[in-house]
Chains A and B, each alone.
Chain A
Amino acid sequence: MANKIRVATTSLAGCFGCHMSFLDLDERLVQLAELVEFDRSPITDIEHCTDCDIGLIEGGVCNSENVHTLREFRKNCKILVAVGACAINGGLPAMRNFIPLEECLSEAYLDGIGVENPQIPSDVELPLLLDKVRPIHEVVKIDYYLPGCPPSADVFWKFLTDLLAGREPELDYELVHYD
C-alpha cells in the first residue's frame, strides 16, 4: 500500500464537470484504485493536501481562495496538471472578463432587478473576486495540460496510465478536444 501513487484533485472556478468525467472511468476506477490513493479531493473530503505525486486542477482562478488552493497544490504536488478548458484558458467563467468587475458586482448586489437590501457582501470569510478570471498557468507553474470540456474519461485514463507506467504522456488525435 505504501507504494501507491498519491493523487489530489480540486475544482477552482469550474463546474465539476471534469470531475464527473473522471468518474466516467467507471469500472476502470477499480483498476486505478489498485495503483493510486486519493489525497485532498471532493472524492475523499480531505480538506488539505499533503505530499502528493499528482495534482489535478479543474477550473480557472477567479478569486483569492482559488489562489490559495492552487498554491497549496503546487507546493504539495510533484506534478501539477491543468484539467479542462477552464483551467487552461479560463473557459466560460472568463467570459466575465469583458465586463468590468465593478459592473458585475453592482448588477448582482446593488442595482440589479429584484435586489433587496442592496449591499456588497463583506464577510471576512468570503473570498474576494479577482478583476479577471485567469488560467492556472498564469498563477503557478503547470506541468501538463488535459484539454476538453470536459476531457473524456479516456483522456484521464491514457494520461494516468502513461504516467504510472513511467512513459511521457501522449494524447492521440481523437483524445485532443477543446469542446
Chain B
Amino acid sequence: MSKTITIDGKTIPFEDGQTIMEAATAADVYIPHLCHHPEFTPHGSCKLCTVKVNGRNCSACTFPAAEGQDVLNNTQELIDDRRKITQMLFVEGNHFCPSCEKTGNCQLQAVAYHLNMLDDHFPLFYPNREMDASHPDVLIDHNRCIFCALCVRASQQHDGKNVFAISGRGINKHLIFNAESGQLKDTDLDKNDKAAHICPTGAILIKRTGYQVPIGQRIYDHHEIDEVSLATTEHQHGE
C-alpha cells in the first residue's frame, strides 16, 4: 500500500524521498512557485509555495512528504499572503510589463494574474539597476531579476558551466557573471544553454526573438499558470 498525504482534504500518494511539491504535481495539484523547477535542486527562496503542514508553514518545494501530513494549499489566507509575497517581488525590482519583451510569457506576471493581483500594494523601491547587453545573443536586465537562482542552477546542473551567481546581501542582492570583466560576453554562455532560457521573468532574454509571437497570443494571455505548469511537467515526465 502506498503512503499518502492529504492536500486540501484530497488524498495524494507519495514515494519516499518526494517533496510535497513533487507529490502534488504528480497528482495534478498546482502549488504556486517561481524558484522551483522540477529538473533542478529545489531552492526554497521565493516562498510562494508555502503550504501549511499540520498547522506549520513549510516550503512545499523543499519539504519532504511524510505519512500523515495534512497539507493546506488553497486557503484564502495562503492565497492572500502569496499575493503579498508576489507584490514584494514586484516592488523591490522594476517590472514595467508594457515595455518588457517577456510580457505574456512571464511566470512572475502569470503567478500574479493567477493570484488576482491588481496593484503593487506596497511602496515601490525603484532601485537603480543596470542592463548587460554585451553578449551577442543574450540580454540581461537586472531590473527584472527576482533572485530565484534558476539560471545559476541550470548553468551548473544542466549546462555543466558556472556562468551565474547571486552575490551581495539583503536587499542589495544581485546577479553576477563568471568573467574577469564581469560582463556576460566574456562568460562561456551560449544562447542554446538551458540557463539562457530558464528565467521565469524577463531578466534573461534571447536577443532578436522578443516579438515573434504577438502580445495577446502569448502563453499566459489565455491560459492560467496552474494549467500550463501541470501540463508542462507532464510533458517533461513523458520525454
Residues of A within 8 A of B (CB): 82, 85, 88-92, 94-95, 97-98, 132, 134-135, 137-138, 142, 144-147, 149, 171, 173-174, 176-179
Task: Tell me whether A176 and B124 are in contact (CB under 8 A).
Answer: no
Instruction: Kindly identify, within residues 147 to 179 of chain B, every residue whose CB is under 8 Å from any CB belonging to chain A.
Output: none
Q: Given the interface contacts A149-B98, A176-B113, does A88 sit within 8 Å of B119 by beta carbon?
A: yes
Task: State the Cβ distance, A137 to closest chain B Cβ, in Å.
Answer: 7
Contacts of A135 in B (CB 8 A): 120, 124
Additional pairs, 9, CB under 8 Å, beyond known A91-B96, A98-B94, A98-B129: A82-B119, A92-B98, A132-B126, A137-B119, A176-B113, A177-B221, A178-B95, A178-B112, A179-B97
Q: Given the interface contacts A88-B119, A137-B119, A147-B119, does A178 sit within 8 Å of B126 by beta carbon?
A: no
Q: How large is the interface on B (under 10, 10 to 19, 20 to 34, 35 or more residues)?
A: 20 to 34
Task: State the Cβ distance, A87 to closest chain B Cβ, in Å.
Answer: 9
Contacts of B114 in A (CB 8 A): 173
Task: Tell me whether B120 and A179 are in contact (CB under 8 A).
Answer: no
Q: Which residue of B lies closest to A150 (CB)?
A: B98
Task: Tell me whether B222 and A97 are in contact (CB under 8 A).
Answer: no
In angstroms, Cα B109 to Cα A85, docked, is 13
Task: Tell me whether B118 and A91 are in contact (CB under 8 A).
Answer: no
Encode contact with A along B104-118: 1 for CB under 8 Å, 0 otherwise: 100001001110111
Q: Which residue of B lies closest to A142 (CB)?
A: B119
Chain A CB within 10 Å — which of B95, B109, B126 has the most?
B126
Asked if B224 is an interface residue, CB under 8 A from chain A, the answer is: yes
Asked if B181 is an interface residue, CB under 8 A from chain A, the answer is: no
Task: Tell me whether A176 and B116 are in contact (CB under 8 A).
Answer: yes
In angstroms, Cα B144 to Cα A139, docked, is 25
Contacts of A88 in B (CB 8 A): 118-120
Instruction: Kindly identify, within residues 214 to 239 of chain B, every residue whose CB is under 8 Å from any CB belonging to chain A.
Output: 215, 221-222, 224
Task: Tell me whether A94 and B120 are in contact (CB under 8 A).
Answer: no
Chain B CB within 10 Å — which of A89, A90, A147 has the most?
A89
Encode contact with A along B35-59: 1 for CB under 8 Å, 0 otherwise: 0000000000000000000000000
Task: Tell me whether B123 and A138 are in contact (CB under 8 A).
Answer: yes
**27 A–B contacts, CB within 8 A, in A order:** A88-B119, A88-B120, A89-B96, A89-B120, A89-B124, A91-B96, A92-B96, A94-B126, A95-B94, A95-B99, A98-B126, A134-B124, A137-B119, A138-B123, A144-B118, A145-B118, A146-B118, A147-B118, A173-B114, A173-B224, A174-B221, A176-B116, A176-B117, A176-B118, A178-B95, A178-B97, A179-B215
Q: Which residue of A lies closest to B104 (CB)?
A: A179
Contacts of B201 in A (CB 8 A): none
Task: Tell me whether B118 and A85 are in contact (CB under 8 A).
Answer: no
Task: State the Cβ distance, A49 to closest chain B Cβ, in Å.
Answer: 23
Task: Tell me whether B124 and A179 are in contact (CB under 8 A).
Answer: no
In angstroms, Cα B120 to Cα A94, docked, is 14
Q: Which of B103, B116, B124 contacts A178 (CB 8 A)?
A: B103
Task: Tell me whether A85 and B124 are in contact (CB under 8 A).
Answer: no
